[in-house]
Amino acid sequence: MKDFEYFSASSLQEACSLISQYKDVGKVLAGGQSLITLLRQKLISPTCLIDIKGLKELDYIEFDKKSGLRIGALTTHRAIEKSPLIQEKYNVLSEMEKSVASVQTRNWGTIGGNLCSADPIGDPAPSLIALGAKLKLVSAKGERIVALEEFFTDYFTTIIEPDEILAEIQMPPPAPNTAVEYMKFSTIEAGIKIVSTSVAITVEAGSDVCKDAKIVMSAVAPIPLVTKKAAEMLKGKKLTDDVIEEAAKMAASETDPTSDVHASAEYRKEIVKVLVKRAIKKAFEKAKKA
């Protein structure tokens, strides 16, 4: 690593002031699980790091029946996984977090840092997008709210401005007759994922008809992929095995995976068909009971 200046912010206001001052040469350090790797590999070379890990004002999980769920950006993966509130209201997040790297990483890594790293194989983004998550971005000039679905632009790239900090993840209250299912395929537990998907299904009350659907995947495109055509195939239809299978095939056709040492592009497309099909069925069954 190259030498750099280190600042430890004592408040969000101070952090915003520092990042505004050093926006062209600085990087925000949260848990550091992704950032340190980038520094070691010399993929980034900031001249200063602004450490926000100690900001307790960004470490919380809160829920309100009207506004929904609010998670501070410095909340750890482990805290989300173990939260009784999350397990009761947004159980898919708790289940998803169990597959994020190792327990050691989850104990220190933060949800905000994970999202801002924009790794195309990251675990949390698809489930959060399926839940309709929004992000609160703050700077010395003010704040703005953006949909997580619009946050990612390319490999390891987001719309966050150099002087902005991700402060909070927001999700609406759980919708009636709705369920979200997360599934991941990797060759070893806590290993590099080959494909993952999060599927949200809303059914017409008391029927097998799909009222709304959302299918989100990672590791199959430069950013979390929301499959528009596949989801549209499900809406307004009874979710029979044939309909679900066709939607899964359509989802695979919308992907644009790359080949690497872990899996070929063709293999990933085949896995998509299997995972999406299983996830739709699981979400459908849960939605009928929700």
Please, which pLDDT band fits residue 189 given cuts at 50, 70 and 90?
A: low
Q: In terms of domains, do 195 and 278 share one?
A: yes
Predicted pLDDT of residue 1: 66
Q: In terms of domains, do 65 and 167 share one?
A: yes
Q: Which two tokens stand for residue 102?
A: 């190792």
Q: In terms of domains, do 124 and 160 share one?
A: yes
Q: What is the number of residues in the chain? A: 290
Three-class SS of the chain = CCCCEEEECCCHHHHHHHHHHCCCCEEEECCCCCHHHHHHCCCCCCCEEEECCCCHHHCCEEEECCCEEEEECCCEHHHHHHCHHHHHHCHHHHHHHCCCCCHHHHHHCEHHHHHHHCCCCCCHHHHHHHCCCEEEEEECCEEEEEEHHHCEEECCEECCCCCCEEEEEEECCCCCCEEEEEEEEECCCCCCEEEEEEEEEEECCCCCEEEEEEEEEECCCCCCEECHHHHHHHCCCECCHHHHHHHHHHHHHHCCCCCCCCCCHHHHHHHHHHHHHHHHHHHHHHHHHC
Return d(Cα 266, Cα 255) in angstroms, integer: 10
CATH code of the domain covering residue 187: 3.30.390.50
CATH code of the domain covering residue 16: 3.30.43.10
Predicted pLDDT of residue 193: 85
- Asked if pLDDT for residue 204 goes beyond 80, the answer is yes
Please, which pLDDT band fits residue 37 given cuts at 50, 70 and 90?
A: confident
Q: In terms of domains, do 147 and 243 share one?
A: no
Q: Tell how far CA 90 is from the center of its chain.
A: 14
Mean pLDDT of 103-110: 95
- Asked if pLDDT for residue 83 goes beyond 80, the answer is yes
Mean pLDDT of 20-44: 92
Predicted pLDDT of residue 38: 87
For 107-157, the pLDDT digits (tens) are 999 999 999 999 999 999 999 999 999 999 999 999 999 999 999 999 999
- Asked if pLDDT for residue 42 goes beyond 90, the answer is no
Task: Name the phi and psi angles at 191, rounded to 5.
Answer: -95, -175
- End-of-domain residue from the set 133, 148, 171: 171
For 246-285, the pLDDT digits (tens) are 999 999 999 999 999 999 999 999 999 999 999 999 999 9
Q: In terms of domains, do 41 and 79 share one?
A: no
Predicted pLDDT of residue 94: 97
Please, which pLDDT band fits residue 213 given cuts at 50, 70 and 90?
A: very high
Q: In terms of domains, do 139 and 200 share one?
A: no
Predicted pLDDT of residue 191: 67
Q: In terms of domains, do 96 and 132 share one?
A: yes
Q: In terms of domains, do 72 and 115 share one?
A: yes
Q: In terms of domains, do 210 and 136 share one?
A: no
- End-of-domain residue from the set 149, 171, 193: 171
Of the candidates 281, 283, 276, 286, the one whose C-alpha atom is nearest the C-alpha of residue 240 is 281
High-pLDDT (> 70) share of the chain, %: 99
Mean pLDDT of 5-20: 97
High-pLDDT (> 90) share of the chain, %: 89
Q: In terms of domains, do 121 and 102 share one?
A: yes
Residue 250 CB coordination number (10 Å): 20
Structural domain including 204 reads 178-289
Overall number of domains in the chain: 3
Q: In terms of domains, do 126 and 209 share one?
A: no
Q: In terms of domains, do 165 and 216 share one?
A: no
For 225-236, the pLDDT digits (tens) are 999 999 999 999
